[in-house]
Structure 1
Amino acid sequence: MNSEDQVDRKRPRIEYEREAAAAAAARRAEVDNPYTNHPTLYMDDGNIIMKCTSSTTLFRVHRSILSKHSTVLDALFKTAASQQPPNKLRECLFVEMADDKDDLAGLLVAIYDGIHVTVPEELTVETFPSFAGLLRVTTKYKIERVRQLLINRLHEEWPSALDKHDAKVAAFSTRYLAQQNMDDTIVHPASVIALLHDCAYTPPDLMGPLFYDLSKRTWQFGGDAAGHHLAPLTPSDMEKFIVGMTKIRSAHVKSTEAPLHVITKPTCKAALLPEWLRRVYATLYRSNNYMCTPMEDWSAFLVILKASPPWVCRDCHTLLIKHCERMRQDLWKTVLTSFT
Structure 2
Amino acid sequence: MSQLPSKRPRVDGSDDATEHDGDAAVRIPPVQRSEKFWIEDGNVILHVEDTQFRVHRSMLTRHSTIFKDVFSVPPPSSEQARDPVLEGCPVVKLSDRAGDMEQILSIFYDNASFLDLREDIPIGRLAAMLRLGKKYDIAYLRDEALKRFRSEFPTTLEAFDASYGDTRGPSIDYDSPSDLDDISTIICLSQEHGLPSIMPAACFNLVYYIPPEKILDEAVLPQELRNRCIMGQDHLIRTVHNILFDWTESESFMSPDHCTGDHLDGYDRKKVLRELNDGLWLADDGSVWCFSPTLPGNVQETLSNLCASCSESVISYYHAARKEVWQELPIFFGFRGWEDPDLKDFDS
Q: Same fold by TM (over 0.5)? A: yes
Is 1:60 aligned with 2:63? no
Shift of 1:263: 6.8
Larger deviation, residues 194-203 vs 39-48: 39-48
Q: Contact 1:54–1:100 (CA<8 Å) still a contact in 2?
A: no
Larger deviation, residues 206-215 vs 73-82: 73-82
Shift of 1:298: 7.3
Shift of 1:61: 1.5
Query: In the alignment, which of 285, 295, 304 is matched to residue 299 of structure 1?
Result: 295
Matches within 5 A, 1:16-35: none
Task: Summarize the Cα distance change of 1:145–1:122 in structure 2 as closer, same or farther, 3 Å threshold.
Answer: closer
Query: In the alignment, which of 237, 242, 248 is matched to residue 236 of structure 2?
Result: 248
Is 1:329 aligned with 2:323? yes
Query: In the alignment, which of 140, 146, 151 is matched to residue 145 of structure 1?
Result: 140
Shift of 1:201: 1.8
Shift of 1:305: 5.1
- In 2, the alpha carbon distance for the partners of 1:288 and 1:36 equals 49
**Partner SS for 2:46:** strand
- In 1, the alpha carbon distance for the partners of 2:286 and 2:37 equals 52
Q: Contact 2:185–2:220 (CA<8 Å) still a contact in 1?
A: yes
Q: What TM-score does the superposition give when structure 2 sets the normalisation length?
A: 0.63
Larger deviation, residues 109-118 vs 43-52: 109-118
Shift of 1:299: 1.5
Bigger RCO of structures 1 and 2 (CA < 8 A, at least 6 apart): 1
Q: What TM-score does the superposition give when structure 1 sets the normalisation length?
A: 0.65
Q: Contact 1:68–1:74 (CA<8 Å) still a contact in 2?
A: no
Task: Summarize the Cα distance change of 1:37–1:320 in structure 2 as closer, same or farther, 3 Å threshold.
Answer: closer
Task: Summarize the Cα distance change of 1:216–1:164 in structure 2 as closer, same or farther, 3 Å threshold.
Answer: same
Query: In the alignment, which of 262, 286, 309 is matched to residue 306 of structure 2?
Result: 309
Q: Contact 1:47–1:92 (CA<8 Å) still a contact in 2?
A: yes
Q: Contact 2:133–2:141 (CA<8 Å) still a contact in 1?
A: yes
Matches within 5 A, 1:1-340: 38=34, 41-55=37-51, 57-62=52-57, 64-78=58-72, 84=80, 86-89=82-85, 90-113=87-110, 117-118=115-116, 128-158=123-153, 161-167=159-165, 187-203=181-197, 206-218=198-210, 221=213, 227-228=216-217, 230-256=218-244, 257-258=246-247, 259-261=250-252, 266=257, 275-285=268-278, 287-290=283-286, 292-293=288-289, 295-296=291-292, 299-300=295-296, 303-304=300-301, 306-310=303-307, 314-315=308-309, 317-335=311-329, 338-339=332-333, 340=335
**Over the residues paired in the alignment, what is the CA RMSD in angstroms?**
4.2
Code of the aligned partner of 1:333: Q
Q: Contact 2:73–2:82 (CA<8 Å) still a contact in 1?
A: no
Q: Contact 1:119–1:153 (CA<8 Å) still a contact in 2?
A: no
**Partner SS for 2:196:** coil
| Count of paired positions | 284
**Structure-2 residue corresponding to 1:177:** none
Q: Contact 1:248–1:338 (CA<8 Å) still a contact in 2?
A: yes
Q: Contact 1:119–1:150 (CA<8 Å) still a contact in 2?
A: no
Q: Contact 1:194–1:233 (CA<8 Å) still a contact in 2?
A: yes
Task: Summarize the Cα distance change of 1:335–1:166 in structure 2 as closer, same or farther, 3 Å threshold.
Answer: farther
- In 1, the alpha carbon distance for the partners of 2:255 and 2:272 equals 21
- In 2, the alpha carbon distance for the partners of 1:251 and 1:108 equals 47
Q: Contact 2:258–2:310 (CA<8 Å) still a contact in 1?
A: no
Identity %: 17
Task: Summarize the Cα distance change of 1:276–1:79 in structure 2 as closer, same or farther, 3 Å threshold.
Answer: farther
Deviations 1:25-48 (A, max 9, x none): xxxx969xx976545534455443
Task: Summarize the Cα distance change of 1:187–1:317 in structure 2 as closer, same or farther, 3 Å threshold.
Answer: same
- Unpaired segments ≥5 residues, structure 2: 1-11, 15-29, 167-174, 336-348
Code of the aligned partner of 2:47: K
Code of the aligned partner of 1:152: K
**Partner SS for 1:189:** helix
Task: Summarize the Cα distance change of 1:58–1:167 in structure 2 as closer, same or farther, 3 Å threshold.
Answer: closer
Shift of 1:288: 1.7
- In 2, the alpha carbon distance for the partners of 1:103 and 1:247 equals 36
- In 2, the alpha carbon distance for the partners of 1:240 and 1:200 equals 18
Q: Contact 2:133–2:139 (CA<8 Å) still a contact in 1?
A: yes
Q: Contact 2:207–2:230 (CA<8 Å) still a contact in 1?
A: no
**Partner SS for 1:249:** helix
